[in-house]
């Protein structure tokens, strides 16, 4: 339930409403907008008498939230959530591009890739230090050494970094190095990890599980948001279907559907969604046409030597082409690729 305060409600009236919400055993989430304050009263599903709030001083009206996810819903926050990442707005009019290798393999590989993606116009660098691999015998990532290499690439290029965190125990360490913590598809319903990432108050990128519904993705986002951590972006990365020509099936529907259901930024990962570099650019274009706020793309200077996901990684020159094509699509729908540190942007066309 949302308690919408009057535009002229005073602080003490807001405090009294919050107190009553808490006295009823509910959680109060305050959202102070430019015009008015909205108090989200989050309970355990038991019915709450809305009249108990309706006649309190300063209260304008009560709006029930019908979705099982509350804080993630558009009802809770009709405006798109936008948060800055090192000067670039995530979820704003500009499309944000995150790129880099699947895994940090060594210093030279990461630094070369970091410079290449920066020159091409990427806004953030990706690279896994802790890798969730299907086989325990596959490369598992460099761990903390990988995080240190990411920090070096960040210092050299100025690009913020995003890297996966796999366990609650890793959260404090990964927070020290990463600008955004990635929760991978396999961990989308790792609830203790979601709680830890929420508690950290650190920006998060939450990937959709390969067999998760859109609603389950939003319920997982709700775990992070329930700790007051509002800097969450969602990522569609393809789901499992009967189709086995590609690694996954891009659920392109998920983009406009998510945008209608939630205020959170939505990005797409065309690399894992297709599993084949030949199709990455086409699906990147489709994502932007469908309304995605950004892309996370695997790029490797020598994909044939990659320790993971080489087959779906773009070479830097192909990544340059991808950005050019994505920019054209963005402009066609009144958006743009956000200005980058490389100074590449065609500028947003305001509609």
Contacting residues toward Mn ion, per CB under 5 A: 102, 309
Could you say which residues in the range 49-88 bind ligand PEP, by CB under 6 A? Answer: none
Helix (H) or strand (E) holding 195: helix 191-200
Judged by beta carbon, residue 75 or residue 298, the one nearer Mn ion is 298
Quote the least distance from Cβ 185 to ligand PEP, whole Å.
4
Quote the least distance from Cβ 186 to ligand PEP, whole Å.
6
247 sits near ligand PEP (criterion: CB under 6 A): no
- As a whole number of angstroms, the distance between CA 69 and CA 53 comes to 22
Give the range of 91-99, 184-192, 321-329, 339-347 binding ligand PEP by CB under 6 A: 184-192
Give the range of 23-31, 107-115, 183-191, 195-203 binding ligand PEP by CB under 6 A: 183-191
Quote the least distance from Cβ 277 to ligand PEP, whole Å.
14
- As a whole number of angstroms, the distance between CA 271 and CA 269 comes to 5
With CB under 6 A as the rule, give the number of residues binding ligand PEP: 10
- As a whole number of angstroms, the distance between CA 305 and CA 211 comes to 30
The site partner of 132 among Mn ion, ligand PEP, none (C-beta below 5 to 8 Å per kind) is: ligand PEP
- As a whole number of angstroms, the distance between CA 150 and CA 264 comes to 26
Q: 């690729």: which residue's tokens?
A: 337
| Contact between 88 and 294 (Cβ < 8 Å) | no
Could you say which residues in the range 5-44 bind ligand PEP, by CB under 6 A? Answer: none
Quote the least distance from Cβ 132 to ligand PEP, whole Å.
6
300 sits near ligand PEP (criterion: CB under 6 A): no
Residue nearest to Mn ion (CB): 102
Judged by beta carbon, residue 105 or residue 309, the one nearer Mn ion is 309
Structure tokens that stand for 41 in this block = 């009263």
CA angle 263, 268, 271 (to 5 degrees): 165
CA-based torsion, 221, 29, 265, 197: positive or negative: negative
CA distance to 125, 269, 270, per residue, from 285 (Å): 20, 11, 9
DSSP 204-263: EEEEPPTT--HHHHHHHHHHHHTTT---EEEEE--B--S--SSSSB--TTHHHHHHHHBS
CA distance to 151, 285, 288, 336, 343, per residue, from 349 (Å): 34, 18, 15, 7, 17
Judged by beta carbon, residue 102 or residue 267, the one nearer ligand PEP is 102
The site partner of 185 among ligand PEP, Mn ion, none (C-beta below 5 to 8 Å per kind) is: ligand PEP
Quote the least distance from Cβ 79 to ligand PEP, whole Å.
28
Judged by beta carbon, residue 104 or residue 264, the one nearer ligand PEP is 104
- Pattern of binders to ligand PEP over 94-113, x per CB under 6 A? --------x-----------
217 sits near ligand PEP (criterion: CB under 6 A): no
Quote the least distance from Cβ 298 to Mn ion, whole Å.
6
Structure tokens that stand for 159 in this block = 């690009």
272 sits near ligand PEP (criterion: CB under 6 A): yes
Over its C-alpha atoms, the chain yields an Rg (Å, rounded) of 21
237 sits near ligand PEP (criterion: CB under 6 A): yes
341 sits near ligand PEP (criterion: CB under 6 A): no
CA angle 83, 88, 89 (to 5 degrees): 35
Could you say which residues in the range 114-143 bind ligand PEP, by CB under 6 A? Answer: 128, 132
Residue nearest to ligand PEP (CB): 184
Q: 């992070």: which residue's tokens?
A: 224
184 sits near ligand PEP (criterion: CB under 6 A): yes
Residues that bind ligand PEP (CB under 6 A): 102, 128, 132, 184-186, 207, 237, 269, 272
């Amino acid at each position: 339930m949302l308690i919408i305060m009057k535009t002229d409600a005073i602080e003490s009236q807001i405090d009294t409403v919050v107190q009553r919400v808490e006295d009823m055993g509910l959680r109060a989430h305050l959202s102070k907008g430019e015009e008015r304050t909205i108090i989200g009263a989050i309970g355990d599903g038991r019915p709450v008498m809305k009249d108990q709030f309706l006649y309190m001083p300063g209260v304008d009206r009560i709006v029930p939230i019908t979705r099982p996810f509350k804080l993630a819903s558009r009802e809770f926050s009709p405006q798109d959530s936008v948060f800055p990442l090192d000067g670039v707005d995530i979820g704003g009019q500009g499309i944000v591009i995150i790129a880099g290798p699947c895994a940090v393999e060594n210093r030279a590989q990461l630094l070369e890739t970091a410079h290449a993606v920066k020159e091409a116009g990427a806004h953030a660098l990706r690279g896994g230090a802790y890798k969730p691999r299907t086989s325990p015998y596959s490369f598992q990532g460099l761990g903390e050494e990988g995080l240190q290499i990411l920090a070096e690439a960040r210092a050299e290029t100025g690009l913020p970094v995003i890297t996966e965190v796999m366990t609650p125990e890793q959260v404090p360490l990964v927070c020290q190095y990463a600008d955004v913590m990635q929760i991978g598809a396999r961990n989308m319903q790792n609830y203790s990890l979601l709680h830890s990432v929420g508690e950290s108050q650190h920006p998060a990128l939450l990937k959709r599980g390969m067999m998760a519904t859109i609603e389950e993705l939003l319920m997982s986002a709700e775990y992070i948001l329930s700790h007051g951590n509002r800097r969450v972006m969602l990522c569609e990365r393809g789901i499992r279907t009967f189709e086995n020509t590609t690694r996954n099936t891009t659920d392109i529907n998920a983009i406009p559907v998510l945008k209608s259901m939630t205020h959170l930024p939505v990005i797409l990962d065309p690399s894992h969604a297709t599993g084949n570099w030949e199709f990455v650019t086409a699906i990147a274009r489709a994502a932007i046409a469908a309304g995605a706020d950004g892309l996370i793309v695997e790029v490797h200077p020598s994909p044939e030597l990659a320790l993971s996901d080489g087959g779906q990684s773009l070479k830097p020159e192909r990544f340059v082409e991808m950005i050019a094509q994505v920019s054209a699509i963005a402009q066609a729908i009144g958006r743009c690729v956000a200005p980058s540190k490389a100074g590449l942007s065609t500028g947003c066309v305001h509609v």
